Amino acid sequence: MRQILFIPFAIVLLATSCKKGKADQPANPGGGGGGGGQTGTAHISSWSPAVPYADDTVTFHGTGFDPTASGNVVTTCNHVFQVISASSTQVKAHLVNDITSCIYYNDMSEIVFQANGWSDTLPDFHWKKTPRIMELNYFAPYYCNAFFRGGDSLEVVGIGFGSNSLASWSIGDHQSSGPVVVDTGVEGFGYIRTRLGPSDLGSAIDECDTATVLVTLTNTDGRVFSKQTRIGHGPHMSFQSIVPNINSASRADMLANNLVIYATVYGRYLKSCMAVRLYRTTGGPVDELILTAGGPPGGFPNSYVVGPIAPISLAVGNYVLKPVNCDGSIDGSHIGSFVLTP
């Protein structure tokens, strides 16, 4: 019976970190009626929607407005509202500029009105909380300019992820159903995590092929917010952070005991088009190529076995295995080695 000598060659260590933070100074929901800080006899009595999004058109009700739209000045966070229409008792206006940085943590700002020699202030005007993507974390090494790729775990961190506000989220055309994790703060600071299958976003022979996709968050009222990022189509194939387990064996003993050599290659979501080459290091400028072994089977495994390699076909010496990418290029240094003694 033929016996087998197993020689594990390389272990790829993949480690990333994720980062969390927490907003403070929570705001209380409010809005809808009552002005304050007014000078003169006029004031703001109510508005709708009671708690709008920052890009909604808001209708303010009160007295003393200028019936001409240009005669009313409405400001918040150093930005001026565009007044769409006006009467002496009503002004419709909306913000043109983004005030995200102003209401980043508490979704609240001060609105100042000026018209016909009077002014009024809404000091605690509340805006509807929106999912705001602060950062994208990926649980895989950076490779080929792709921030993440199929098979990796992705984390979206931001504000406004409350259970009553966030309905769904997606990455490109992939609808994600991963868990939503939210802290107890009223800002809804939290994060979402999901793992994409290796083939969820298509496949490519070149693992460096990437595409631009949108990470999209959808609120329960149908409002959509998104952030653009890059994603790799194919599985990660880099061989890095090598920790080889080096063995040596006597060629004569192996022949006498009918031993053969197997090697286990470790990676991440390996593709079947990948190959491994066995070289004998001769001390010269070019290593001697002994054989090329095929890649793993389908299904994107994280490891596969190369062999058997019969020692009768090998001379005494030092040997290394090197990975070959799908495009035929050698990726980095050797992934494992062994010594065949006399």
Task: Give residue 87's pLDDT.
Answer: 95
Q: Which pLDDT score is estimated for 334?
A: 67
For residue 57, give the H/E element and its range.
none
Pairwise CA distance, residues 188 & 56, whole Å: 21
Q: Provide the pLDDT for residue 24.
A: 32
pLDDT of residue 31: 37
Q: Are strands 247-250 and 336-341 parallel, antiparallel or unpaired?
A: parallel
Greatest mean pLDDT among 91-100, 164-173, 190-199, 286-295: 91-100
**What are the angstrom distances between the C-alpha of 155 and each of 1, 17, 137?**
51, 11, 5
Find the helix or strand (DSSP H, E) in which 59 lies: strand 58-62
Q: Give pLDDT, residue 58.
A: 97
Torsion sign (Cα): 138, 140, 143, 146: negative
**Per-residue confidence (pLDDT) for residue 304, from 0 to 100:** 83
Q: What is the Cβ-side half-sphere exposure of residue 7, based on CA atoms within 13 angstroms?
A: 25
- Whether 240 contacts 12, CB under 8 Å: yes
Quick one: average pLDDT of 226-234? 76
What's the pLDDT at 229?
Answer: 80
CA neighbor of 337 nearest in space, from 268, 263, 271, 238: 263
The reported pLDDT for the residue numbered 317 is: 92
Q: What is the DSSP string of 191-216?
A: EEEEE--TTTT---SSTT-EEEEEEE
pLDDT of residue 332: 58
Task: Lowest mean pLDDT of 17-21, 106-110, 217-221, name the range.
Answer: 17-21
pLDDT at 135: 80
Does position 342 have pLDDT exceeding 70, yes or no?
yes
- Give the residue with greater pLDDT, 153 vs 179: 153
Residue 310 has pLDDT above 70, yes or no: yes
The more confidently predicted of residues 298 and 75 is 75
Token pair recorded at residue 257: 């005991």
Averaged pLDDT for residues 207-228: 78
Residues 72-123 pLDDT 10s: 999 999 999 999 999 999 999 999 998 988 887 778 999 999 988 888 999 9
Percent of the chain surpassing pLDDT 90? 23
If we measure between CA atoms, which residue out of 210, 194, 193, 191 comes closest to residue 149?
210
Helix, strand, coil share (%) of the chain residues, nearest 5: 5, 45, 50
* DSSP string for residues in 89-103: SEEEEEE-S--TTTT
pLDDT of amino acid 6: 41
Residue 333 has pLDDT above 70, yes or no: no
Predicted confidence (pLDDT) per residue in 233-270, tens digit: 665 555 433 334 457 889 999 999 998 888 887 776 67
Please give the average per-residue pLDDT across 150-169, as a whole number. Answer: 71
Q: Across residues 2-22, what is the average pLDDT?
A: 34
State the average pLDDT over residues 225-230: 82
Burial zone of 239 (CB within 10 Å; 0-12 exposed, 13-18 middle, 19+ buried): buried
The CA-atom distances, in angstroms, between 290 and each of 219, 282, 293 are: 59, 12, 10
